[in-house]
Structure formats: structure tokens, C-alpha cells
Amino acid sequence: MLIAIEGIDGAGKTTISRFLRDELEKRGFSVVLLKEPTDGEYGRKIKEAEKRFDPEEELKLFLLDRKEDVEKNILPALKNGKVVIMDRYYISSIAYQGARGLDMDEIRRMNEEIAPKPDVVIILDVSPQEGLRRVGNRGSRTVFEEESYLAKVRENFLKIGDMWSETTRNVKIINAERELEEVKKDVLDAVLRVLSR
């Protein structure tokens, strides 16, 4: 079982991912929680960059980082019967690199060549204003965190959510501007529903 937690910066992905891991462990599942971009060679290159890469270069780095994560961490964990929770996965590439003008279907295709499809996708939805307010409490902003850019990214996440839920894919868009306890409950319910099938 592969679960992806997605959303713009400041949506609460890290808090929710940890909560979900703890809840699933309490229920006896063996869980691995991973985060992208990773701390590997390419992930560090992305995070430590002082200026922005051009969109193609940026996408390439996220793909290389993800490929490494898939081979080293994700596939081995799935083979060992673990539940894998991704704090960001390739839906982030579709939404963020798509917002820089790259073709979203093409980004998806490139990713699905190297990365297994998630069984559940949770999109935590907040407005860019709220996301940035929360990120502001965390320190300085990065190049990914400008309001107009995040507005496009959010739109893309919502588009992907709508499109994928029309197919058989388990995608859930959750309003993450509400009280944390309510958000947690909705996420856990959505995941348990799929796990129990």
C-alpha cells in the first residue's frame, strides 16, 4: 500500500504524514514514512540551489531524486509488505513543474515510467495565503513559495484531484484550513477505508 500526501507549501503534509504513521502503527501496520525531495545527492542539489533552475532542469532533478528513492526505499519497503507514506510524491512534480509551463500529462507519463502509482492520494487543500502564513512561521521563504506561483500549483492539484477521481484512482481532496483534529479525522477515515478493502 502506497499513500501519497500532497498539497502546497504550508498545507500541513508533514504533520499529517506523521499522524497517519502513528495511527497506522497503533493498528498493527508496519509503516515507512518517506519525504521528497530526499536528502540524497539530487534532493540536496534542489534544496541547496541559490537560484532557480530552468523548468526542464528542475523536473529532471526531481525525477532523478525520485528514481533513487523508488529503487532504494520505496520498492524494497513495498516488497517487505510495509505501508509506505510519501510526504510529497510525483503529484507534486505534476502540479509544481506544471505550474512552470511544462505539460502535465507528459510529467505524469515520465514519472509513471519510473515510479509505482500510489494506491491513495490525499490532497491537503489550503489557499496560498494560508499556506504562506504557516510557512512564514517556519523561517525564510524559498523560490517555490511565491503567492502567484502557489496559486497556480493549487489549481493544478485540484485539477489532478478531479481528473483522477473520475477514473478508478483513490484521490481525496481535503479542506486543510479547518481545525487540525477535523483534518486528521478525514485523512485517517479515507486511508482506513482503502486499507480495509
96 binds ligand TMP (CB under 6 A): yes
What part of residues 143-182 is at the interface with ligand TMP (CB under 6 A)?
A: 144
Which of 21, 88, 152, 172 binds ligand TMP (CB under 6 A)? It is: 88
Shortest separation between residue 96's beta carbon and ligand TMP, angstroms:
3
Shortest separation between residue 108's beta carbon and ligand TMP, angstroms:
12
What track of x and - describes contact with ligand TMP for positions 20 through 59 (by CB under 6 A)?
----------------xx----------------------
CA 105 to mean position of chain CA atoms: 17
Residue 139 phi/psi, 5-degree rounding, is 130, -155
DSSP, collapsed to helix, strand or coil, labels residue 30 as coil
Q: What single DSSP character describes residue 70?
A: I
Of the candidate spans 69-77, 92-100, 115-123, 170-178, the one that interacts with ligand TMP by CB under 6 A turns out to be 92-100
Q: Which amino acid does the sequence have at 40?
A: G
Pairing of β 2-7 and β 120-125:
parallel
Shortest separation between residue 71's beta carbon and ligand TMP, angstroms:
16
Distance CA 194, CA 197 (A): 5
Distance CA 25, CA 155 (A): 33
Of the candidate spans 70-78, 93-101, 154-162, 166-174, the one that interacts with ligand TMP by CB under 6 A turns out to be 93-101
What strands, in cross-sheet order, belong to the sheet with 2-7?
Answer: 31-35, 83-87, 2-7, 120-125, 170-175
Residues near ligand TMP (CB under 6 A) = 9, 36-37, 62, 88, 92-93, 96-97, 142, 144
